[in-house]
Amino acid sequence: MDNQAFRDWVVRAAEWAADYRATLAERPVRAQTKPGAVAAQLPPRAPETAEPMADIFADFERVVLPGMTHWQHPRFFAYFPANAAPVSVIAEILVSAMAAQCMLWQTSPAATEMETVVLQWLRDAIGLPEGFHGVIQDSASSATLAAILTMRERALGFAGNRQGLAAHARVRIYASHEVHSSIDKAVWIAGIGQDNLVRIPTRGPSRAMDTEALESAIAADRAAGLLPAGIVACVGGTSVGAADDVAATSAIAQRYGLYLHVDAAWAGAAMICPEFRAMWQGIEQADSLVLNPHKWLGAQFDCSAHFVRDPAALVRTLAVEPEFLRTYGREGIVNYSEWSIPLGRRFRALKLWFLLRAHGLEGLRAMIRDHVRWSQALARRLAATAGFALVTEPVLSLFSFRHDPGDGRDLDAHNLALVAAINDDGRLYLTQTRVDGRVAIRFQVGAMTTSEADIDLAFDVIRAIAGRLS
Ligand X SMILES: *Cc1c(COP(=O)(O)O)cnc(C)c1O
Residue closer to ligand X (CB basis): 265 or 418: 265
Question: Phi and psi (nearest 5°) for 321?
Answer: -125, 75
The distance of closest approach from Cβ of residue 265 to ligand X in the complex, given in angstroms and rounded to an integer, is 3
Among 72, 83, 112, 141, binds ligand X (CB under 6 A): 141
The distance of closest approach from Cβ of residue 80 to ligand X in the complex, given in angstroms and rounded to an integer, is 5
Among 238, 335, 392, 444, binds ligand X (CB under 6 A): 238
Residue closer to ligand X (CB basis): 123 or 180: 180
Q: Is 443 in the site for ligand X (CB under 6 A)?
A: no
Among 263, 287, 338, 454, binds ligand X (CB under 6 A): 263
The distance of closest approach from Cβ of residue 305 to ligand X in the complex, given in angstroms and rounded to an integer, is 10
Q: Is 402 in the site for ligand X (CB under 6 A)?
A: no
Q: Is 400 in the site for ligand X (CB under 6 A)?
A: no
Which stretch, 21-29, 244-252, 262-270, 308-316, contacts ligand X (CB under 6 A)?
262-270
Q: Give the x/- contact pattern for ligand X in 72-101, rule: CB under 6 A.
A: --------x---------------------
The distance of closest approach from Cβ of residue 253 to ligand X in the complex, given in angstroms and rounded to an integer, is 19
Q: Is 140 in the site for ligand X (CB under 6 A)?
A: yes
The distance of closest approach from Cβ of residue 207 to ligand X in the complex, given in angstroms and rounded to an integer, is 13
The distance of closest approach from Cβ of residue 257 to ligand X in the complex, given in angstroms and rounded to an integer, is 25
Residue closer to ligand X (CB basis): 165 or 447: 447
Q: Give the x/- contact pattern for ligand X in 272-301, rule: CB under 6 A.
A: --------------------x---------
Q: Is 304 in the site for ligand X (CB under 6 A)?
A: yes
Q: Is 317 in the site for ligand X (CB under 6 A)?
A: no
Which stretch, 29-37, 233-241, 316-324, 386-394, contacts ligand X (CB under 6 A)?
233-241
Residue closer to ligand X (CB basis): 263 or 454: 263
Number of residues near ligand X (by CB under 6 A): 15
Residue closer to ligand X (CB basis): 80 or 307: 80
Looking at the chain, how many residues does it have? Answer: 470
Judged by the rule CB under 6 A, the positions of this chain that interact with ligand X are 80, 139-141, 180, 182, 234, 236-238, 263, 265-266, 292, 304
